Amino acid sequence: MEIKNTVLELLEEICQTDVVKENLNIELFDEGLLDSFGVVSLLMGIEEKLGIRVGISEVDREQWSTPNKIIAALENWA
Amino acid sequence: MIPYSSFSFFMILGILLIPVVVLGYKEKRSIVYNSFVHVVILLLAFASDIHQLVSFIVYIFWQVILVHWYAFYRKEKNEAGVFYAVVFLALVPLLVTKLLPVWSMGNIVGFLGISYLTFKTVQMIIDMRDGALKTVTVKEQLMFLLFSPTISSGPIDRFKRFQKDMETIPTREEYRLLLYKGINKIFLGFLYKFIIAYVINDRVIETPFIQAHTPLSTFIYMYAYSLYLFFDFAGYSAFAIGASYIMGVKTPENFHLPFLSKNMKDFWNRWHMSLSFWFRDYVYMRFVFWMMKKKWIQNRYTVSYIGYFLLFFLMGVWHGLELHYVAYGLYHAALMISYDYFERKNKQWKIWKKNKGTEVLSVIITFHVICFGFLIFSGRLF
């Protein structure tokens, strides 16, 4: 639950829209909501707030394309 | 013999690939035979020039030693200084190759494709630093580096992605589709490189009218050269990707209708993608992350703009140290920063509204801006 809330708050701030909280299956890259700069900000936030360190090369854009997928990826993070 | 440049090369490649296709249909892959294919193609590419062949072999040894030493070191420690030193050492052969012509010395260390191989090694070292890549065997690294379809000019694959293709053998049905797509791509390459690019070069660029440096001829040259560059390189990329597919490796695409880009960001997601994505992931994002962590500059946009500058400057210099390549890099850095600024401000100003009309206009404007960039790149201006 903590992961979900934190990720959604971060995404809302980075994408500057609450659509990401309403539609958890929105394609973040295709819709132009998330770009390289956004990904970096997201990783920064995840590290600060959740203590999970995700390397830049570990972000596969296909596996991180929607809020739901990002949450799932982080919940399974070893 | 430069890969994909002559009829005889395609003949040899076609014959070499027959056993690969037969095995592919049987849901098999022979590492021994595939290695033989790679060695033959590498020999074709380098053996005519003994300097190139020797440089190539020494280079491969150098990179294998570096990557393995770093993998060994990284198990115990993770010092930033060591990481930078290893990356620098991996870049040394490329730097020397680029610098020797500047010092007007003969190019004795360079060989065809050295810059593309360097991208492959550097990404492995960076992934290890991140902890995304932990162990690698000499065999795996050699298979990745020496994969012959993309040896001369990419597309630049990623180690982990390549590794996945190496570990899975396609089913008969999957292979049939790969083979079909591969052959299709190779024929698309023939159309692009040997027909369209050839005709543009022969009938437009090489004519006395265009070769005479008048303002009008330079203006026409700008568009002809841009189209030539696309069809020539997209044609080559289609050969490389097609041959990869036949060998069961889904090498990433390099182009996606770049002349239909809506803006500069869109353009770099469509033009020479394997290169621009490499710079995006390994230069820009890493730099931005590092700067944000250090908090030296408070304004996030300033950090992003310095990152863009670094990315495009390096991309320009990577093509060569000549002034026009540097100018090309700076031109794109300036465009990217201006576009990013405009895109952000437009959210408040709303002067450029989104509709069918502005979208078409955006594509037209972007097209001309891109072509001017290629005119700089061509070296015709200075």
Chain A residue with minimal CA distance to B127?
Answer: A57
**CB pair distance less than 8 Å for B280 and A36:** yes
ipTM of the complex as predicted: 0.91
**Per-residue model confidence (pLDDT) at position B130:** 87
On whether any CB of chain B is under 8 Å from the CB of A51, the answer is no
pLDDT (tens digit per residue) in B4-44: 999 999 999 999 999 999 999 999 999 999 999 999 999 99
> What is the structure's pLDDT at A78?
64
Looking at residues B161-168, what average pLDDT do you find? 95
User: What is the structure's pLDDT at A5?
Assistant: 93
pLDDT in tens, B329-380: 999 999 999 999 998 898 888 888 888 999 999 999 999 999 999 999 999 9
pLDDT in tens, A3-28: 999 999 999 999 888 899 999 999 99
Is-catalytic flag, B319? yes
DSSP string, B32-101: HHHHHHHHHHHHHHHTTSHHHHHHHHHHHHHHHHHHHHHHHHHHH---HHHHHHHHHHHHHHHHHHHHHH
A78 touches chain B (CB under 8 A): no
The pLDDT value given to residue A31:
85
Could you tell me which of B191, B53, B64 has the C-alpha nearest to residue B113? B53
Among chain B residues, the shortest Cα distance to A55 is held by B130
Confidence at residue B354, expressed as pLDDT on a 0 to 100 scale: 85
Cβ–Cβ of A40/B126 closer than 8 Å?
Answer: no
Inform me whether the C-beta atom of residue A57 falls under 8 Å from chain B C-beta atoms: yes
Q: What is the pLDDT of residues B238-276, one digit of tens each?
A: 999 999 999 999 999 999 999 999 999 999 999 999 999
Q: Which of B221 and A61 is assigned the larger pLDDT? A: B221
Of all residues in chain A, the percent with pLDDT exceeding 70 is 99
Higher pLDDT among residues B59 and A1, named by residue = B59
CB contact under 8 A, B288 and A43: no
- Arithmetic mean of pLDDT over chain A: 90
Nearest CB among A37, A57, A58 relative to B288 is that of A37
> Residues of A with CB below 8 A from B282's CB?
57
pLDDT bracket for residue B220 (50, 70, 90) = very high
Taking CB atoms and an 8 Å limit, are A57 and B281 in contact across chains?
yes
Range with the poorest average pLDDT among B69-78, B99-108, B152-161, B320-329: B99-108
Q: How far apart are CA B340 and CA B312, in angstroms?
A: 14
What are the extents of the domains in chain A?
A: 2-75
Mean pLDDT of chain B: 94
| Nearest Cα residue in chain B from A14 | B300
B304: nearest CA partner in chain A: A37
Percent pLDDT > 70 in chain B is 99
Assess whether pLDDT exceeds 80 at residue A30: yes
pTM equals: 0.94
- For domain A2-75, give the CATH superfamily: ACP-like (1.10.1200.10)
CB contact under 8 A, A55 and B131: yes
Contacts with A57 from chain B: Cβ below 8 Å: 123, 126-127, 130, 132-133, 281-282
